[in-house]
A and B are shown apart, each in its own frame.
Chain A
Amino acid sequence: MRTLVKGARKGAAPGGTGETVAAAERNPAKGSPTVAVAPRDHRRRGTPFGLRTRLILAFLLVAGVSAVGTAGLTYREARNSVLQAAQDTAVSSFRDQIQLLTLTLPVQRPVLEGTLRDIAGKGKPRPWVVFAEYGTMRVSSGSNPVSSVITPELRRKAAGYPHGSFERVIKDGVPYLTVGMPVVFEAGEGAVLSTGLVLYAVMKMTYEQNQVEALVTAARNGALPGLAIALIPALLAARSVLRPVRELRRAAHRMGSGRLDTRIKVRGGDELADLARTFNESAGQLERSVTELRQAEARARRFASDVSHELRTPLAGMLAVTEVLDEDAAGLDPDTAQAVRLISAETGKLAVLVEDLMEISRFDAQAAELNTDEVDAAETIRRTLRNRNWTDLVHTDVPDGIRARLDPRRFDIVIANLVGNALRHGGPPVTVRLRTRTDRDGGPLLVTEVIDRGPGIRPEVLPHVFDRFYKADAARTRSSGSGLGLAITRENVRLHGGTVRAENAPGGRGAVFTVEIPLGTGEVTG
């Protein structure tokens, strides 16, 4: 199974290879994106008070207030003028009709009756019922001598300082206009005396009521459709704002997932268009920067790779003839022999170093491939030891039957490196132990421990053992290693999605290197 982990392909943020490889540690198989996509926006379903709702409410409110306000004010004015017209007409025509009369004092009932009927018939805007009160005399033009609609307040007003007055009374839901008109006469020059007679006119205002109700209906019928129609511009306005906003959100989301070539169409010339333009410019700049960085990274990779490659070519020729040199060295004079052996040995070391460098640079370029195979872990370890003839030197505690998905070549390198270090720098007995355990999240782990009983690792050295070219003892002569062994081991383990750590053995004697690799799903048998 081939798994390619190329963080660059997923639009990695140029935050350095460390992060991307860190991501690869955990998910080599998935090749997860290295830039986290924002959690699904929980407001996408449309909140109660989203933009659209707010706009619609605002529009409706404006339309409602203006419609109601206008309608209300207009209606009120119209109603008042309707009433005023009716009232003024009634009062003045009542007065005019009365002023045509000539009375005797005291007023006589029969005369009064006739007069009232006369006046009633001539009522404006429509016929009235006229009542007269003179002393104890109560006369009317209708059937009842006394009206139930004339209020005591009106009587009081009419009986006071003489002037005409009117009142609106509602009885049984019917509005009435009552006019009270005291009758005066001129007694001598300039002296106006009250005759003691007060005439009342009662008029139904059903017609005016109908008019007013018609006004109300008209106002309502005008306002409500207006409100409904106001919805249309509200929706249009909301759409015109929401669409660009949604576009922007989608574009931002796409940008976040790594598609830096996302652009928004700029429509119109308002603030949203400015925003879109700004977004495009920023996206363009971001894309350029990222492209530059990627190109720089690619160039660096190529350079490292080219350099190593170039190094290998001369080495290939040199390495091929080292055996010849070794074989014939014995036949040369001692100095030349020593020189030849020196060259041969160093060529070999150089070849190892260059190989390690190539390996490390491949990791750095995220170009390392994991070629996994399902193998028996114990058998793999045993084979590693066998191939290097370490079987007798190393104790093994490796139970059979643990199958794991490993890259056998890389795992072999890891085990060989750790065991080789244990044999060289640690001390006997060297033990390799294999077991499984479950990690915090419930996933199964393959645990390999390489334990030695040597001097252990000094505390100040411990955090740096996996660093590149780190030699524990600066004064120590160069060992056979390139200084990259543990770094390569760590990268190989990381590639498998696992971890490797170094610690001193409990009890103080020796060191323990622990490699933990996820077993994958459901692969533990036995």
Chain B
Amino acid sequence: MPRVLLIEDDPSVREGVELGLRRRGHDVRAVATGEAGLAALDDFRPDLLLLDLMLPGVNGVEVCRRVRENSQLPIIMLTARGDDFDIVIGLEAGADDYIVKPARTQVIEARIRAVLRRIDEQPGNGRPAVEFHGELCLDRSALTVAKAGRRLALAPSEMRLLLHLSATPAQVFSRQQLLEQVWEHNYHGDARLVDACVRRLRHKIEDAPGNPRYIQTLRGFGYRFGPL
């Protein structure tokens, strides 16, 4: 079962989530501050980070940014829905998904599974493992992307999105479809999740983020990969 690092400053929430997840079989470390969380990264080596946005001291967005500087660790934000502005910033900072408090452990777990499934999934079967699209080189089995020979560091959501889109080039996916298929949000989710991820992805793989070649927008319909 995946190891989860929980950074949450409110004690009751921390206890409750930790308890719920532990009952589900996860190995959970719960800390109260961003600094403690960053320190615990090397020490605990979690598979996933559950990160509260509103933290004293180093806030959640900052933690997210720092983690992303040198790691592709899956990050799920914990947020109260009123903090819309911060959700955007958190997503821009590199979070893969977010959960709105209060949430049942069942929901939290489902989200964790969905995020981690990106890493575990092996599409394989019949498709060549390595694909070349323009200057991009995608290795589906190794789950790596290289641009012009240089390896790109993509967050899990970004990687999964890219793989999903490039699996069927030129096919248009609506944001709702992507939310369902890539993020596995059952109920109508927040399209900003997709938009933020696309923005991050473009920033990394496009030559000119303002004029995207690989991830193209079709206004009113959604996104597609190419055509190049």
**Which of chain A's residues has its CB closest to B220's CB?**
A374
Chain A nearest Cβ from B197, distance in angstroms:
15
Contacts A312-B102, A351-B102 known; A323 to B20 CB distance under 8 Å? yes
Of the candidates A319, A323, A380, A387, the one whose C-beta lies within 8 Å of that of B102 is A319
Task: A318 to B104: give the CA distance in the assembly, Å.
Answer: 9
Chain A nearest Cβ from B162, distance in angstroms:
21
Contacts A362-B82, A408-B176 known; A321 to B10 CB distance under 8 Å? no
Cβ–Cβ contact A320 & B82, under 8 A: no
**Residues of the B chain whose Cβ atoms lie less than 8 Å from the Cβ of A321:** 16, 19-20, 105
Interface string of B63-88 (1 = CB under 8 A from A): 00000000000000000111010000
Cβ–Cβ contact B13 & A313, under 8 A: yes
B227 at the interface (CB under 8 A from A): no
Cβ–Cβ contact B106 & A318, under 8 A: no
Binds A, one of B41-49, B185-193, B202-210: B185-193
A111 at the interface (CB under 8 A from B): no
Task: A314 to B16: give the CA distance in the assembly, Å.
Answer: 9
**Residues of the B chain whose Cβ atoms lie less than 8 Å from the Cβ of A309:** 80, 82
Contacts A317-B15, A324-B19 known; A409 to B80 CB distance under 8 Å? no
**Residues of the A chain whose Cβ atoms lie less than 8 Å from the Cβ of B13:** 313, 316-317, 320
Size category of the binding interface on chain A: 35 or more
Task: A314 to B15: give the CA distance in the assembly, Å.
Answer: 11
Interface string of A393-424 (1 = CB under 8 A from B): 00000000001000011011000000000000
Contacts A313-B10, A314-B12 known; A320 to B102 CB distance under 8 Å? yes
Task: A147 to B49: give the CA distance in the assembly, Å.
Answer: 136
Interface string of A371-405 (1 = CB under 8 A from B): 10111000010011001000000000000000100
Cβ–Cβ contact A383 & B105, under 8 A: no
**CB-CB contacts below 8 Å: A355-381 with B:** 355, 358, 362, 367, 369, 371, 373-375, 380
**Residues of the B chain whose Cβ atoms lie less than 8 Å from the Cβ of A411:** 188
**CB-CB contacts below 8 Å: A157-210 with B:** none
A17 at the interface (CB under 8 A from B): no
Task: A409 to B179: give the CA distance in the assembly, Å.
Answer: 12
**Residues of the B chain whose Cβ atoms lie less than 8 Å from the Cβ of A409:** 187-190
Task: A313 to B81: give the CA distance in the assembly, Å.
Answer: 12
Cβ–Cβ contact A319 & B191, under 8 A: no
A473 at the interface (CB under 8 A from B): no
Task: A327 to B24: give the CA distance in the assembly, Å.
Answer: 11
Cβ–Cβ contact B82 & A318, under 8 A: no
Closest 5 CB pairs of A and B: A317-B12, A317-B16, A320-B16, A316-B102, A408-B188
